[in-house]
Amino acid sequence: MVAKITVPDSIKRALNYNEQKMKEGVAKCIYAHNFLKEAEHLNFYEKLNRFQKLISLNKRASTNTVHISLNFALNEKIEKDRLIEIASGYMEKIGFAEQPYLVYQHLDAGHPHIHIVTTNIQKDGRRISLHNLGRNQSAKARKEIEIIYNLVKAGEQGRQRTDEIKLINAQRVNYGRSPTKRSITNVLDSVLPNYKYASLAELNAVLKLYNLAADRGKQEGIIFRKGGLVYRVLDERGNKIGVPVKASSIYNKPTLSYLQKRFEENELSKQEYKKSLKTSIDWILLRLPKSLEVFKEALQKEKINLVIRQNDEGVIYGLTYIDHRTKCVFNGSDIGRDYSAKTILEKCGIAQNYSSNEKVNELKFAPPNIPVLPGNLNEHQYPDLTKIIDDVIVPSEEIYYLPYELKKRKRKRRKN
């Protein structure tokens, strides 16, 4: 079992997320603890008011909402009553037994999981400390519950999810065939925390495998200027389709500021895996692949995806390597000159044609077309025109006369 604790900025936001899932038919509220009614008889406002009454008792508290998700292994089928038992036991062990809380069973992912919404403000107005709650109380509670209910342990579950991530959680997004926002969220939940990418281009190399892209928009656009980010669904050719989804509207907030923090962390953490990737590539290059496609297929056998970056004219300008064994993403030039697009293409015996670019340059610096006047230009045919041209082309000497009286006289300095 894997437990994740988040602290949203408002109880209404946490409730809205789960209630919206219920409207979509992918979640159920299966238990209400310390409420006057059973879960199935509570409406949204009754749930909200119960929490807000407690929160109003401590207006100084900056954090007053707790959102917990308990995630189980893919092959574990847990009945509703058992899920309620696990949720109740967990909340008691972390010190929330007396608090009101709601348990939602979610059905929108491949693995079974539940969400718990509660507040840390008690009936006397005092606040339950959340400091190191995940590291201390939650970790201890999780281990005890795994033993009591014979659940797959968190470490083993992580390895199992890594193997199944491509088939279950990160299903390729198909616009119009499945709820777009839910599909995008599933892909991001699988990719963002697990892969090590140090730029938006490296992240997009992974997301492209699942028909998804993170897009900042055009440089002159308002999204780019405001530091925004949207996620776009791609078709099989890599073209953007459908309506973009704002990063801020996705529950886990995979915004540009969040990604930039990940870029900094990943830049350092992925360096230790560079050597193993180089070894795999070197081993393949020893056999001198006859084409780029053969090179790409050989990498796939080593669980390495090769993403080829091309411009609109089909010229290859970069290669990106995605090592699924270490979950690291590297640009070829970052690994070394021998792994860049130019060197790899040469080793594969590919010579790129730059003729189209040369033509563009020739056109770019070609002199402008100057219209030619009909006939022989002479003073008999075009007397007025020749005079005008002479006046324009032939420089004339201009003398500016200023009367002596208007000239500014220099003041003489008086000698002491």
Could you tell me if 48 and 142 lie in one domain? yes
Could you tell me if 6 and 148 lie in one domain? yes
Q: Does residue 72 surpass a pLDDT of 50?
A: yes
Could you tell me if 115 and 94 lie in one domain? yes
Helix (H, G, I), strand (E, B) or coil at 246: strand
Domain count for the chain, please give it: 3
| pLDDT confidence bin for 218, thresholds 50/70/90 | confident
Helix (H, G, I), strand (E, B) or coil at 51: helix
Could you tell me if 155 and 193 lie in one domain? no
Which of 178, 175, 195 has the alpha carbon at shortest distance from 323?
195
Q: Does residue 120 surpass a pLDDT of 90?
A: yes
Please give the pLDDT value at position 35: 96
Helix (H, G, I), strand (E, B) or coil at 386: helix
Q: Does residue 361 surpass a pLDDT of 80?
A: no
Could you tell me if 293 and 206 lie in one domain? no
Could you tell me if 111 and 40 lie in one domain? yes
Q: Does residue 352 lie within any of the structural domains? A: no
Please give the pLDDT value at position 25: 87
Q: Does residue 398 lie within any of the structural domains? A: no
- Answer whether 0.75 is exceeded by the pTM: no
Q: How many other CB atoms sit within 10 Å of the CB of residue 307?
A: 19
Q: Does residue 110 surpass a pLDDT of 50?
A: yes
Q: Does residue 391 lie within any of the structural domains? A: no
Which runs of consecutive H residues, i.e. helices, occur in 215-255?
Answer: 222-225
Calculate helix-pair angle for 180-191, 200-207, nearest 10 degrees: 120
Q: Does residue 361 lie within any of the structural domains? A: no
**Model confidence over 133-188: pLDDT tens digits?**
988 999 999 999 999 999 988 766 554 444 433 322 345 666 665 567 778 888 88
Q: Does residue 400 lie within any of the structural domains? A: no
| Two structure tokens written together for 74 | 């893919």
C-alpha distance from residue 3 to each of 74, 79, 134, 161, 359 (Å): 15, 18, 8, 15, 60
Q: Does residue 406 surpass a pLDDT of 70?
A: no
Could you tell me if 285 and 238 lie in one domain? no
Could you tell me if 329 and 241 lie in one domain? no
Q: Does residue 290 surpass a pLDDT of 70?
A: yes
Longest C-alpha distance within the chain, in Å? 112
Please give the pLDDT value at position 368: 40
Please give the pLDDT value at position 400: 43
**Model confidence over 392-405: pLDDT tens digits?**
444 444 444 445 55
Using the 3D structure, point to which of 269, 294, 315 is the last residue of a domain. Answer: 269
Mean pLDDT in residue range 187-212 = 90
Angle, vertex CA 158, rays to CA 155 and CA 162, nearest 5: 145
Using the 3D structure, point to which of 243, 269, 295 is the last residue of a domain. Answer: 269
Mean pLDDT in residue range 304-331 = 88
On average, the pLDDT of the chain sits at 80
Q: Does residue 212 lie within any of the structural domains? A: yes
Could you tell me if 333 and 207 lie in one domain? no
Residue 92 CB partners (closer than 8 Å, separation 6+): none
Which of 39, 34, 145, 150 has the alpha carbon at shortest distance from 89?
145
Please give the pLDDT value at position 88: 96
Please give the pLDDT value at position 157: 56
Phi-psi region of 370 (alpha: psi -120 to 50; beta: other; left: phi over 0): beta
Could you tell me if 324 and 303 lie in one domain? yes
HSE-CB for 392 with a 13 A CA cutoff? 6
Please give the pLDDT value at position 311: 82
Please give the pLDDT value at position 391: 52
Q: Assign residue 99 the CATH number of its domain.
A: 3.30.930
Could you tell me if 193 and 329 lie in one domain? no
| Two structure tokens written together for 258 | 């969040």
Q: Which residues span the domain enclosing 230? A: 180-269
Distance (Å, whole) CA 42 – CA 69 = 21
Q: What's phi and psi for 241, nearest 5 deg?
A: -130, 160
Buried residues in 368-393 as b, exposed as e (16+ CB within 10 A): eeeeeeeeeeeeeeeeeeeeeeeeee
Q: Does residue 114 lie within any of the structural domains? A: yes
Please give the pLDDT value at position 127: 94
Using the 3D structure, point to which of 222, 254, 269 is the last residue of a domain. Answer: 269
The fraction of the chain above a pLDDT of 70, given in percent, is 78
> CB burial class (10 A; 0-12, 13-18, 19+) of residue 301?
exposed
Could you tell me if 211 and 329 lie in one domain? no
Mean pLDDT in residue range 35-57 = 95
Q: Does residue 382 lie within any of the structural domains? A: no
8 Å CB contact between 307 and 206: no
